[in-house]
Structure 1
Amino acid sequence: MPKIVDHDAYKQELAGRAAVLFAEQGYSGLGMRKIAEALGLSKSALYHYFPSKKELFLACTAVATAPQDAPPLTGSPCDQLMAMATDMRSGFASEMALVFDFIRGMSPTDIAKDPAMKQAMSNYQTTIQNITGPKVADEILTLLIGALMLDLFSGGSWPEDAIRARFDRVLAQNS
């Protein structure tokens, strides 16, 4: 009896595994041959699912930035944002390194039009809008990314009380 494969699920699995490779080695550090070898596939099998490295990266971005199948965030909107920020902290440095590697040489217009960047931005905005509503979502996203960058640049000095106070201040504008 032939093996039945859920191609969509397998494609998602490959994208999730490739996302780890991109995070570890960067965008420019990987070619399709190297990715295929690391995933235990032939290069042609990888091309069957993803016609280009950029298409694979787009799928990885969708997987990496999609809301997870974790229990829903609970508590106040500020508590939910703090939980999201805390969760993002661990992989933030490698994610930013990957993003900057990927966009190197692109113009701001090219970045804004890039499907992977649009996908990531849309997923982050949707997640935050689900917590805060649309009125303050962009300001909250700016605070969140800024706080993560400051944490990164300061060697992990995470001023939780100050971040919480800023979230609360912006959220109060939404009331």
Structure 2
Amino acid sequence: MPKQIDHDAHRQDIARKAAPLFSEHGYSGLGMRRIAEELGLSKSALYHYFPTKKSLFLACTEVVMTSAQAGSGNPGAADAPDPAEALIGFAKRMEPDFAREMSLLFDYLRGKTAEDIAADPAMRLANDHLRRQVESLVGEKQAEAVLCLLMGTLLMRHFTGGQLEFAAIRPLLDGLR
């Protein structure tokens, strides 16, 4: 009797294993042949589950966002006693992988137009995930501005070698909600 394969679970497993490859080598640094080799799959097996590198990248984004959401739970309920502290905690949890993820992101987006980026399902998925996390703390009205502040702070912390303190944005976050 042939072996029963849960194709959805196998597809998720491939994406989970491929995600670190994208982070390590970048989007343009990988081809489907190399990904298949790194995962110990035949190229045809990889193409069976993911007809394009872009479809694999989207699946990897879904796995990473689902994992991040499960790992962080709710970064802080809307009724948290100190939303500012919860937001800073959220940014601190993002920080260890921030530079690598931004490098991957810019590599992935290289050559795309603003319209391409706006319509890209991986970008929408990641942006929606981050926005929901921040909305849970500050509400829908302020989420976009606060997310910009957090992302900018992470970027500046990277550019200053961590010299910019999170305390610098605390006055802007106090009084939210």
Give unmatched runs, 5+ long, in structure 2: none
Match for 1:94 among 100, 104, 109?
100
Distance 2:151 2:140 in 1: 17
Distance 2:150 2:144 in 1: 10
Runs of 4+ aligned structure 1 residues displaced above 4 Å come to: none
Q: Tell me the CA shift for residue 65 of structure 1.
A: 2.6
Native 8 Å contact 1:143 1:167 kept in 2 = no
Q: Tell me the CA shift for residue 13 of structure 1.
A: 2.1
Native 8 Å contact 2:27 2:108 kept in 1 = yes
Distance 1:25 1:71 in 2: 26
Pairs within 5 Å for 1:102-113: 102-113=108-119
Specify whether residues 13 and 164 from structure 1 end up closer, same or farther in structure 2 by C-alpha distance, changes over 3 A only. Answer: farther
Give the aligned residue type for 1:51.
P
Q: Tell me the CA shift for residue 140 of structure 1.
A: 0.9
Native 8 Å contact 1:61 1:116 kept in 2 = yes
- What is the alpha-carbon root mean square deviation over aligned residues? 1.8
Distance 2:71 2:37 in 1: 30
Moved more, 70-79 or 30-39: 70-79
Specify whether residues 131 and 37 from structure 1 end up closer, same or farther in structure 2 by C-alpha distance, changes over 3 A only. Answer: same
Matched, 1:81 2:87: yes
Q: Percent identity?
A: 50
Distance 2:72 2:109 in 1: 33
Matched, 1:137 2:137: no
Native 8 Å contact 2:153 2:166 kept in 1 = no
Specify whether residues 42 and 133 from structure 1 end up closer, same or farther in structure 2 by C-alpha distance, changes over 3 A only. Answer: same
Give the aligned residue type for 2:70.
D
Give unmatched runs, 5+ long, in structure 1: none
Q: Secondary structure at the match of 1:51?
A: coil
Matched, 1:68 2:73: no
- The two structures have a TM-score, normalised by structure 1, of 0.89
Distance 2:173 2:86 in 1: 11
Give the aligned residue type for 1:112.
A
Give the aligned residue type for 1:142.
C
Q: Secondary structure at the match of 1:97?
A: helix
Match for 1:159 among 142, 145, 165?
165
Matched, 1:52 2:52: yes
